Structure 1
Amino acid sequence: MFENIRNVYCVGRNYALHAAELGNDVPEYPMIFTKPTHALVEMNGQSILLPSSQGGVHYEAELVLHIGKAYEKGMHVDELVDSCALGVDLTLREVQNELKKKGHPWLAAKGFLRSAPIGPFFPFMGEQAMQQTDFSLFINDIEVQRGNTSAMIFNLQTIVDYIAETFGLGPDDLIYTGTPAGVGALAHNDVLRLQWGNEQAGLCTIQL
């Protein structure tokens, strides 16, 4: 599924309530970090093994964009994105906090193996149409996060323009677009279910 994926870009602090819950300032421009392609793992109902010896592993549910063509300046996001999915940006929170204190990159906290679970792709309906549907994360059948792209600090157009002009953007790149409030730590045997509206959009069980 991921053999053709080139880059995995992620947007940090893109929902104001999430920035607030972690005590972070709202950024002035998109905060971009990356994950290795080895972080990607399908959410197809299976168990996913995660590290258990480095502190809490926190979940962050996100809309993920799949880029379908090479970016050209002035291109609208609706032309650029051909499909999307829901995914989870997993974070070793204590590791991240220590890295931030030292001014070090976040890779060890964000880019570990299987740190980017992702559900099946579905057609991208356009930036405006996407705002008509909420996405959610359920853990053990309890909703813990609900988001909508209309609440983003930086909208989808701003994100693709910024990434393209700063780092480059082309076919088979992915963008994790940021998480709403409600993040927290995972426990052994937690069952994660992503939903787009009322439709299931990813399922897995966590092994720690």
Structure 2
Amino acid sequence: MTKQRTQNIWAVGRNYAAHAKEMHAPVPKTPLFFLKSGGCLNSGSSIELPKWSQDVHHELEIAFLVDENLNFSHLTLAIDLTARDHQEAAKKAGQPWTLAKSFAGACPIGSWISILDAGDLTLLNFKLTKNKITVQEGVATDMIFNPSQLLEFVKNHFPLSPNDIILTGTPEGVGKVVSGDMLQAELYSEKQSLLACHWDVI
């Protein structure tokens, strides 16, 4: 893996129909991308919530790392933290979501594993527990646009760079996190565990 700094986190919205439904939003006909700054990455084991938001939500996603040939090389789990109160205000005002999506630490991320060790990407499934209660579960086959389609879309429309990250969307079950919460995430291929992550919310 390169140690080059990630410039961009390309995140796709509403890539699971059930999540679009819980957000009272239509299912997109083409990928709905937005940007999170590479500076949002948090590879530590704790999450510090912004003091200016009272409603930060977890959105667990499969994340892919792009190599120097602009192909996927590694994958992990990431949380697209969202200041929902500010996002809803921005939506109503027709304004960008940057404040809600791109604050410091807004993308907690797990350890990278080689895509060669992940097996069939269509068999990936993942879950998030909050205080030992399962709150989100997803399977790759439920994605509206699969990882390969998302990569191709970004290549064709945006200035993708080596070491950029593509987030593939969150399943239903997003919800609020507060100080004191314990988040645990796990990525599986069929029944084999590929990765486990842990974050303490402070």
After TM superposition, is the score higher than 0.5?
A: yes
Deviation at 1:156, TM superposition (A): 1.1
> What residue number does 1:137 align with?
128
| Alignment check: 8 A CA contact 2:56 2:176 kept | yes
* SS of residue in 2 equivalent to 1:134: strand
Deviation at 1:17, TM superposition (A): 0.1
CA distance in 2, matches of 1:63, 1:200: 11
1:35 aligns with 2:30: no
> What residue number does 1:75 align with?
none
> What residue number does 2:197 align with?
202
1:188 aligns with 2:182: no
What is the root-mean-square deviation of aligned Cα atoms in Å?
1.9
| Alignment check: 8 A CA contact 1:70 1:170 kept | no
CA distance in 2, matches of 1:163, 1:115: 21
Post-superposition CA distance 1:119-174 (Å, at most 9, x none): 00011149970222311111111111111111101111211111111112231010
> What residue number does 2:67 align with?
68
Deviation at 1:194, TM superposition (A): 1.1
> What residue number does 2:82 align with?
91
CA distance in 2, matches of 1:127, 1:26: 28
Post-superposition CA distance 1:65-115 (Å, at most 9, x none): 0011334xxxxxxxx111001000000111001101111111000001100
Deviation at 1:204, TM superposition (A): 1.0
1:115 aligns with 2:114: no
Deviation at 1:36, TM superposition (A): 1.1
Matches within 5 A, 1:16-35: 16-35=17-36
Runs of 4+ aligned residues of structure 1 deviating over 3 Å after TM superposition are: 125-128
Q: 1:10 to 1:63 in 2, by over 3 A?
A: same
CA distance in 1, matches of 2:42, 2:118: 26
Tell me the TM-score normalized by structure 1: 0.88
Mark the runs of 5 or more structure 1 residues left unpaired by the alignment. 72-79
| Alignment check: 8 A CA contact 2:12 2:31 kept | yes
CA distance in 1, matches of 2:157, 2:118: 21
CA distance in 1, matches of 2:81, 2:47: 12
CA distance in 2, matches of 1:126, 1:14: 24
One-letter amino acid matched to 2:52? S
| Alignment check: 8 A CA contact 2:118 2:194 kept | no
* SS of residue in 2 equivalent to 1:109: helix
Mark the runs of 5 or more structure 2 residues left unpaired by the alignment. none
* SS of residue in 2 equivalent to 1:144: strand
> What residue number does 1:172 align with?
163
CA distance in 2, matches of 1:135, 1:2: 27
Q: How many residues align?
A: 197
